[in-house]
Structure 1
Amino acid sequence: MRITLRAVDADNWHDCAKLSVSDDQKEYVAGNAVSLAQAAYEKQWYPHGIYADDTLVGFLMFGTDQETKRVELCRYMIDKRYQGKGYGKLALIKLLELIAIRYGAISFYTSIVPGNDAAGKLYESAGFQMTGEVMWDEQVMVKQLH
């Protein structure tokens, strides 16, 4: 199995919009359709589909927050049908490689809704650390890329 990140375009946006997490996870993740609309109007965001071989299994979006000027991962989800298969960790590693190539040695940020322990553990396993900062009612995490 090969994990790839593919920019969302006319060919895959609808499939990305249909991805969903389980009902008990919905309080932690914005819907992909909302994220796609945001990216259409706020050009600093870059939405991508997460693929296992040629199967769309998840969605992410990164870019530069206009308020903080930080490069951040603002959306990250694996569809409920594909969770627990290791795709989340593999895709996060691919994303970190992409960010390092695109932006160089930077501090890369993300955040989690309090109580979303699974996301916190995933990000920590990839080297993110809590900053102690809270923004938008979410706990901020950072990873230094070299």
Structure 2
Amino acid sequence: MTVQLRAVDHDNFYQVLELKRPEDEAFVAPNVLSLAEAWLYRDTGRVDPRAIYADRDLIGFLMTYAKEGSRVLDLWRLLIPEKFVNRGYGTSALRLLIEEAAGSGSYDRIRLSYLPGNDLAEHVYQKVGFRATGEIEDGEVVMAMELDGRSTD
């Protein structure tokens, strides 16, 4: 299985909109909101919505944001539909993102946040090297990873 991060574009836009978590779960905003926010904030920094593929199959979505002039990359959203959970896709996608950010030379740190109670997200984030900062932002637990050549293994 080869996991890739690809731009959300004309070919996959509607498929990305269809990716969802269970209706009764409120941990991740719907992709329609994420893509609307990407458009809304397009002039305030670098917003990068990406489709996650495993080989040829679309299996997830992530979106990053970097404020202009900042060396911090924020992982704004990560969504893996229930049918693709526990297959290593989220871990692989995060590792790719970390490699890209570290290799770009543009960032010193990656930040993210998650709602308390989202134990699966917390586990995956810790697994790839994110650590809680002790901050709570908008009711969410903030985690970060310094990009100082640290391995994601």
Distance 2:13 2:87 in 1: 23
Displacement of 1:51 in angstroms is 0.2
Q: Verify the 8 A CA contact 1:73 1:109 in the aligned structure 2.
A: yes
Instruction: Indicate the residue corresponding to 2:140 in structure 1.
Output: 138
Letter in 2 for 1:39: A
Distance 2:122 2:83 in 1: 21
Distance 1:40 1:140 in 2: 24
Alpha carbons of structure 1 residues 33 and 105: separation in structure 2 relative to 1, 3 Å: closer
Greater share of helix residues, 1 or 2? 1
Matched, 1:5 2:9: no
Structure 1 gaps of 5+ residues are: none
User: Could you tell me the percent identity over the aligned residues?
Assistant: 38
Distance 1:2 1:19 in 2: 19
1:1-146 maps to which residues of 2 (within 5 A)? 1-24=1-24, 26-43=25-42, 44-65=46-67, 70-146=72-148
What's the RMSD between the two structures over aligned residues?
Answer: 1.7
Distance 2:142 2:34 in 1: 19
Displacement of 1:70 in angstroms is 3.9
- The size of the alignment, in residue pairs, is 144
Alpha carbons of structure 1 residues 41 and 102: separation in structure 2 relative to 1, 3 Å: farther
Which segment is superposed worse, 103-112 or 52-61? 103-112
Letter in 1 for 2:143: M
Structure 2 gaps of 5+ residues are: 149-153
Q: Verify the 8 A CA contact 2:71 2:108 in the aligned structure 1.
A: no
Distance 2:145 2:71 in 1: 16
